[in-house]
């Protein structure tokens, strides 16, 4: 007879039609080799589970461990590609083309690690996998149920991730809030996972909310207690609790939470509001949360102290640069149709923050909603005149596009540093065609299907592809950089880079010669196809005018900021301080004013 959980589970694989244990294991999986940290939210959603989880994962990665985060969403969509930014924030595109939740961006930035579609799961993906298996006879005639088959699929996906990414620790973030219908099967699957993997294999973290009603003037822990109690009712005992709050959670509240949740007070962490999320890892380290995790998971023997010292030193320098007072004061405007919701442009916001640290700049970001903007010349000039830099971000749909074109024109004619991203790249082409090339009827076929001169259009090859997302260019693609251009300077003389795309429309090749004849430079192109990917103006004509069909913000990292954002920020500093020599700002990102040669 089997005498342990492992024996039972191993034997169950041979008796799947007879036993209640359903635990299919991926090839190469060794039970006990990988540990799991599970982060769940209570009280309310949107508290920052991804920030907490990625910060803790960073501490373990700094110690030399291989970490693999995964976000588990409850909605039935197969990905985040069709979600409204107003409801769900930005769509973050991974290198393999998976359209995901914005939390995946937090993980990539914090861990400096490219993720894949395996790091993102939705209920729709899980159900589709289960139903596909059922149609192919994968359940040996059994009736397919939430338990054990759906929960079994969740466990399989987690273990498969561990094998594929050779993870020492898998960090699991469960979307939503404990008690939601849609994430209940995830929580049950994780409870089963802890049972199957054995002691010291799974650590549960509850992220809760400590309220501080203004009328009372004190922190209250009851909602937090009840939220964690709901988690315990589902069979999950947390090992650690993170308390979100406006102000630092006081000892009295932490004591109450510890008492009513059976969690030692040393594992009750105050995750209160901070000036930057990048300060959280060091706060966690000071409170020894990383040591607690290592003890809970019995992983002290896997730590490499030398790696940790180096990583902490590099991160500490970045945080010091970010949080110390900055010398340069500049204003950058983001003119987008979702500007009223900053989460819609979360990666742009973070890319700017990275530049502020590296270029010693205090950047005042002005959010300008082009959907409500008067596109007249006078109104645009009054709004944009105080700015030192302008960003026109990506987006879909016609709303606000004429205002974006007006913003591009202002930046070009008034020599205000400009960065166009995706749609901002396309609007720069339309603006240039109209006001420099004399094509007054130039437009994009996305917004005018009968445009006489659709300088932005779907290429013939793409028109053959059916389906809403079928003709999208998604994920990492190669960009060939032209010599002696600003782009090649920004990318450190690299002649080819890989960047992430999310778009459907391109510069129509039939107009490229006319655009370039009038001075527009396409300094980044597809290696083989007539697809334009970076545009610019010569730096003797404009201090910084550049557009990218890709999304440079998606690959900006705290220790490795986006070159295009760095170039914009450096140019904005010079715009605000015209008498300041370029070498005092950034020789790396500002061109030699005496060098005008452009070989396009």
Contact present, 352 and 332 (Cβ < 8 Å): yes
List the catalytic residue out of 354, 503, 542, 551. Answer: 551
Question: Is residue 406 classed as helix, strand or coil in its secondary structure?
Answer: helix
* C-alpha–C-alpha distance, residues 234 and 40, integer Å: 12
Bridge-based pairing of strands 268-272 and 361-369 is unpaired
d(CA 94, CA 25): 26
Question: Would you call 179 exposed, middle or buried from its count of C-beta atoms within 10 A (0-12, 13-18, 19+)?
Answer: middle
> How many Cβ atoms from other residues are within 10 Å of residue 55's Cβ?
26
Give the span between the Cα atoms of 442 and 370, in whole angstroms.
Answer: 20
- What lies within 8 Å, CB to CB, of 422 at 6+ separation is 393, 394, 395, 501, 502, 503, 548, 549, 550, 551
**H-only helix segments in 287-363:** 289-296, 305-323, 346-358
Spatial separation of the C-alpha atoms in residues 478 and 579, rounded to whole Å: 38
Beta bridge partners of 93: 99
3-state secondary structure 555-592: HCECCECCHHHHHHHHHHHHHHCCCCCHHHCCCCCCCC
Please tell me whether residue 196 adopts helix, strand or coil conformation. Answer: helix
Tell me which residue has tokens 């966690």: 284
**Residue 551 annotated among the catalytic residues of the structure:** yes
How far is C-alpha 178 from the chain's CA centre?
Answer: 24
Residue 554 CB contacts under 8 Å (≥ 6 apart), including other chains: 92, 93, 105, 347, 499, 500
Q: Which of 422, 431, 536, 575 is catalytic?
A: 422
Query: What are the structure tokens assigned to 282, written together?
Result: 């060091």
Catalytic residue among 149, 173, 553, 575: 553
Pull the structure tokens for residue 490: 């920004």
Q: Catalytic site residues?
A: 422, 551, 553
């Amino acid at each position: 007879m089997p005498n342990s959980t492992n024996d039972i589970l191993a034997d169950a694989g041979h008796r799947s039609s007879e036993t209640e244990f359903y635990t299919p294991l991926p090839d190469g999986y060794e039970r006990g080799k990988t540990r799991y940290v599970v982060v769940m939210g209570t009280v309310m959603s949107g508290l920052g589970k991804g920030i907490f989880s990625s910060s803790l994962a960073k501490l373990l990665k700094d110690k030399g461990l291989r970490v693999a985060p995964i976000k588990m969403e409850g909605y039935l969509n197969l990905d985040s590609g069709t979600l409204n930014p107003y409801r769900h924030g930005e769509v973050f595109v991974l290198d393999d083309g998976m359209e995901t939740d914005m939390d995946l961006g937090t993980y990539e930035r914090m861990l400096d690690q490219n993720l894949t579609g395996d790091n993102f799961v939705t209920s729709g993906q899980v159900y589709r996998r289960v139903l596909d298996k059922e149609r192919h006879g994968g359940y040996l005639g059994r009736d397919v149920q939430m338990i054990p088959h759906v929960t079994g699929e969740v466990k399989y996906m987690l273990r498969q991730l561990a094998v594929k990414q050779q993870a020492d620790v898998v960090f699991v973030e469960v979307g939503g809030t404990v008690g939601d219908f849609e994430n209940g099967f995830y929580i049950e699957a994780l409870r089963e996972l802890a049972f199957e993997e054995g002691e010291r294999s799974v650590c549960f973290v509850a992220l809760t909310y400590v309220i501080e009603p203004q009328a009372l003037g004190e922190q209250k822990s009851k909602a937090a207690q009840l939220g964690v109690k709901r988690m315990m009712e589902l069979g999950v005992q947390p090992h650690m609790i993170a308390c979100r709050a406006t102000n630092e959670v006081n000892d009295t509240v932490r004591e109450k939470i510890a008492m009513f949740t059976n969690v030692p007070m040393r594992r009750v962490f105050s995750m209160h509001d901070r000036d930057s999320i990048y300060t959280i890892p060091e706060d966690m380290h000071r409170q020894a949360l990383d040591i607690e995790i290592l003890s809970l998971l019995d992983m002290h023997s896997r730590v490499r102290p030398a790696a940790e010292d180096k990583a902490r030193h590099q991160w500490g320098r970045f945080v010091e640069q970010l949080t110390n007072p900055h010398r340069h004061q500049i204003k950058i405007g983001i003119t987008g149709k979702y500007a009223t919701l900053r989460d819609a442009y979360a990666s742009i916001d973070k890319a700017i923050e990275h530049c502020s640290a590296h270029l010693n700049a205090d950047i005042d970001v002005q959010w300008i909603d082009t959907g409500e903007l008067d596109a007249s010349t006078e109104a645009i000039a009054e709004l944009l005149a105080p700015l030192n830099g302008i960003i026109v971000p990506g987006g879909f749909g016609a709303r606000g596009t004429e205002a974006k074109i007006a913003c591009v024109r202002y930046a070009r004619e008034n020599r205000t540093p400009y960065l166009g991203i995706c749609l901002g790249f396309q609007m720069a082409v339309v603006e240039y065609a109209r006001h420099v090339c004399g094509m007054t009827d130039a437009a994009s076929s996305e917004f005018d299907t009968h445009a006489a001169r659709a300088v932005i259009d779907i290429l013939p090859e793409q028109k053959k592809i059916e389906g809403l997302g079928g003709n999208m260019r998604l994920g990492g693609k190669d960009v060939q950089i032209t010599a002696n251009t600003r782009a090649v300077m920004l990318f450190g003389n690299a002649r080819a880079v890989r960047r992430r795309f999310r778009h459907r429309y391109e510069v129509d090749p039939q107009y490229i010669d006319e655009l370039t004849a009038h001075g527009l430079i396409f300094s980044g192109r597809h290696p083989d196809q007539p697809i334009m990917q970076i545009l610019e103006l010569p730096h003797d004509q404009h201090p910084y005018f550049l557009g990218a069909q890709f999304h440079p913000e998606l690959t900006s990292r705290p220790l490795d900021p986006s070159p295009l954002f760095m170039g914009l920020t450096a140019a904005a500093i010079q715009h605000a301080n015209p008498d300041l020599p370029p070498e005092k700002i950034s020789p790396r990102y500002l061109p030699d004013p005496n060098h005008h040669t452009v070989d396009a």
